[in-house]
Structure 1
Amino acid sequence: LHTLQAEELELRKGQANDCLEKLRQALGHKAIIYRQHFRSADSTWTGTRSKQEALQCRIKIEKCVRRYQRARSSIQRLGADEDTLTTIYQDIQLHQLSVDKEVTEENRYGQGSDRLAWFWRVNNGHDLKEDVWMDEFYRVNWLKAKARWQRWEEELRLVQHKMGWTVSWFKYRMGEWDQRYQQATKPGHQAYAHRQVLLWGRFALDAENSF
């Protein structure tokens, strides 16, 4: 019985993977429709036809989601561990089924925090079948992710340098006021300069401890 249960579990996982692959393709097709047809529709007939194609894609997407949810429920009933259900075969949320903006709005602002939905990364996002559009989609997302990583790496280096510059500036100001303290001849000037030395020294110490 345990052998049959294990075999059934593997079959259900394969079914879920197939549903996810069809879902990715349907979402990609829908994105292409929005990009190539809705934007460039030059007549009512073209726009109506594009809407019909988009509706068919939406129906196909909903069908894929239902099939996946049934397969996921079966995987859960067959005793899959919690880690598998929370990291690999997660629940699909409605907002994750929107048209991918990498295709429809590739030059938009605010791409620094973009992240693909989890099902784009299942099985490394790779299918045995050749799909030129999917290959291009993953290539563009990989390049953008690499660019974001390099940009954040550069930002980190800049912040680290700015921290060092801030400490150096505080110490420089402390040295300036210490020199003025040494050169002051009046008690009031000496007291004020000494207070500034302590102030900038405290700034430098706090900055070093914080950074």
Structure 2
Amino acid sequence: MPGLADYIKEKGYEESTSSPELIELFLPSFFASMQRDLICQQGLPEFENRLRFAQATEALAHLRRQLRTRSFANSYKTRNAHSQGAYTRSRLLQNQIEVRIKAVRAQYDISRRSLLSLRGPGDWENTLKVLRAEDIQGINERTLNEEEQEEYRRARLLAGMSEETVEGELHGLGTTSGQENIPTVAFNRSLALGEGRRTLSWIWYTVTDEELMGVGEVQACLRVEWVKARARAERWREEVLLLEEEMRRSIAYCEWKAMYWDNAATTRSRPPESNDLALFEGVRAYAYRQASYERRRVVMWKRQWVAIQERATLVLTTQLGQGDILRNDQAMLIAPPLVVELDLSDNEMEGMEDGDVEVGDVDT
């Protein structure tokens, strides 16, 4: 870097030997693109580019390793820490793991900023994304929900921590050692709810071949998560099938009920006595009225549910179809927006004229 001496002299930088870790190295990524061409020799930024890419990739691998270690430590503490001493030792181990996770995250952030300076925005950002606090999750971990956050906040306040410190921990900005990441909790199949829409953090979609083929548990963990995801998809498929069958049976029941009222109106014989004529006409009118209600309900439900049935067919045939494995050049079809209509109450239906089945659309 032949122009570096003049640059340092012009800016007046002073090195401090008291903190060597804070000394600026003035690598090519430190300078803007125009300054870089004047200060650095040709080809030197490409060397740092390759170095930073490898460093960021390796940092993600280390982060995944530490997250697996944290999951194992949490599981071990839950199963074996039954005394105060064992719990304290497990807590110290977890704090050490959190400190290492924080160090790896800082290394990744530095590498990514350097790559952004050297390469600029591009497709590489789809692989090396911005690492947020909520992205630092293990395969079987999740962030706290609102109720758990309130319980966590209450316990911390009772322990004597300030409200600002507790809020910082819940946002990944803790001030104590080992609390610089958002608190997470392991999934419990008997307690956790809402796993149907759960997704892994993006860091687990960038696993390298070395990690998969190594002696670690990455491959086994990913296989377990794949099996869980497939089980959830099959459960969703079952729910969609049940919903479709319930809609079919509801319409079939209304059609049968309409025929029942028609038969009830026609099978009753007309009484010879003139005193029962009004009762006879009233019973027939009531039966025909109920049959009309059922037929109008069939028409209304068929019209309202056509969008839901089309969505169910799309989901069953493309997204949750058994044996349908998408190739790399195939993308999962995105279902169109769904419009659902509100049902009318019985009182509102009584005030409608025959054939008047208009209902306001409601977007959901």
- From 198, 205, 209, the counterpart of 2:292: 198
- From 31, 34, 52, the counterpart of 2:74: 34
Aligned residue in 1 for 2:320: none
Report whether the alignment pairs 1:155 with 2:239: yes
**Normalized per residue, which structure has more helix?**
1
Report whether the alignment pairs 1:96 with 2:135: yes
SS in structure 1 of the partner of residue 211 of structure 2: coil
Going from structure 1 to structure 2, the CA distance change for 1:198 and 1:63 (only over 3 Å counts) comes to same
CA distance in 2, matches of 1:187, 1:124: 81
- From 288, 292, 301, the counterpart of 1:207: 301
Instruction: Output aligned runs, 1:74-89, within 5 Å.
Output: 74-77=114-117, 78-81=119-122, 84-85=124-125, 87-89=126-128
Instruction: Output aligned runs, 1:116-195, within 5 Å.
Output: 116-123=200-207, 127=211, 130-184=214-268, 185=270, 186-195=280-289
User: Alpha-carbon deviations, 1:124-152, whole Å to 9, x = none?
Assistant: 78725513422322121111111101111
- From 54, 57, 72, the counterpart of 2:94: 54
CA distance in 2, matches of 1:42, 1:201: 66
Supply the RMSD in Å over aligned alpha carbons: 2.9
Going from structure 1 to structure 2, the CA distance change for 1:88 and 1:170 (only over 3 Å counts) comes to farther
Structure 1 segments unaligned to the other structure (5+ residues): none
- Give the deviation of 1:10 after TM superposition: 5.3
- From 55, 76, 81, the counterpart of 1:15: 55
SS in structure 2 of the partner of residue 145 of structure 1: helix
CA distance in 2, matches of 1:180, 1:199: 15
User: Alpha-carbon deviations, 1:178-201, whole Å to 9, x = none?
Assistant: 222333543222222222122111
CA distance in 2, matches of 1:133, 1:34: 16
- Give the deviation of 1:38 after TM superposition: 4.8
Number of aligned positions between the proteins: 209
- Contact 1:38 / 1:47 at 8 angstroms: preserved in 2? no
Letter in 2 for 1:21: A
- Give the deviation of 1:120 after TM superposition: 1.2
Letter in 1 for 2:189: N
Greater RCO, 1 or 2 (C-alpha within 8 Å, sep 6+): 1
- Compare 17-26 and 122-131 and name the one that shifted more: 122-131
Structure with higher Rg: it is 2
Going from structure 1 to structure 2, the CA distance change for 1:172 and 1:125 (only over 3 Å counts) comes to farther
TM-score, scaled to structure 1 = 0.83
Percent of matched pairs sharing the same residue: 24
Structure 2 segments unaligned to the other structure (5+ residues): 1-36, 143-184, 271-279, 306-364
CA distance in 2, matches of 1:154, 1:10: 49
TM-score, scaled to structure 2 = 0.51
